[in-house]
């Protein structure tokens, strides 16, 4: 399993469209856990097997934490540069 994965683990609920299915007759939607991510401006999804869900979820959380740390570091760097350049 990769250490970090860009995306979000979500549960999709949908109707399958089969005329005799429980999702049509009883209103019980089908659920599947997927990894949702963006690629070239389009949302993509990958179905996750049950045994992979927690590991993928943890990898996406590590990605978000790393991204947040990088953003904070970059903002501090920007502040330092702006202050230094504004000094006479």
In this prediction, residue 20 carries a pLDDT of 87
HSE, CB side, 13 Å, CA atoms: give it for residue 57: 12
Rounded mean pLDDT, 71-84: 97
As a 3-state breakdown, the chain gives helix, strand, coil percent values, each rounded to 5, of 45, 25, 25
- pLDDT tier at 25 (50, 70, 90 boundaries)? confident
- Does 1 score more than 90 pLDDT? no
In this prediction, residue 57 carries a pLDDT of 98
| 12 contacts 31 by C-beta, under 8 angstroms | yes
This prediction has a pTM of: 0.81
- Does 75 score more than 90 pLDDT? yes
| 30 contacts 22 by C-beta, under 8 angstroms | no
């Amino acid at each position: 399993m990769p250490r970090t994965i860009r995306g979000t683990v979500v549960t999709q609920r949908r109707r399958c469209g089969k005329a005799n299915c429980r999702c049509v007759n009883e209103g019980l939607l089908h659920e599947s856990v997927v990894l949702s991510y963006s690629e070239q401006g389009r949302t993509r999804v990958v179905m996750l097997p049950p045994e992979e869900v927690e590991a993928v979820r943890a990898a996406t959380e590590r990605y978000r934490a790393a991204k947040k740390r990088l953003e904070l570091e970059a903002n501090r760097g920007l502040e330092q540069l702006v202050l230094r350049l504004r000094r006479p």
